[in-house]
Amino acid sequence: MNAWLWLVIAGLFEIQWAVTLKYTEGFTRLWPSVFCIVGMIISVYGLSMAQKTLPLGTSYAVWVGIGILGAAICGMFLFNEPKTLVRFACILLILAGIVGLKVTSPS
């Protein structure tokens, strides 16, 4: 499978575990905790597969960036976190960084 596809999958599971972490209530709830831990494992595995061919700095930054974007957006809509213009502008800056890393990355 393509390294960038692995990285996107890893990033999506980064979002999944970050969101389900909120529902674990400190890992005191069984099923949210199970889903969170499974998401963590899949996310790190996908990152490790991407890093077979992508540079460390690029893959890690994109992985974390996808997680940040998803967690911030999910937080706004699932947990009623503030939806301000400044927050959206910052999210767009992170997205620009991810796209920039993809465009300038060898591979």
Taking only the tens place, the pLDDT of each residue in 5-63 is 999 999 999 999 999 999 999 999 999 999 999 999 999 999 999 999 999 999 999 99
pLDDT band at 106 (very low <50, low <70, confident <90, very high): confident
Q: Do residues 17 and 45 touch, judged by C-beta distance below 8 A?
A: no
**Average pLDDT for 82-95:** 95
Give DSSP secondary structure letters for 80-105.
-----HHHHHHHHHHHHHHHHHHHH-
What is the pLDDT, as a whole number, of residue 105?
Answer: 81
Residue 107 has pLDDT above 70, yes or no: no
Number of domains in the chain: 1
Domain that holds residue 60: 3-104
Secondary structure letter of residue 1 according to DSSP? -
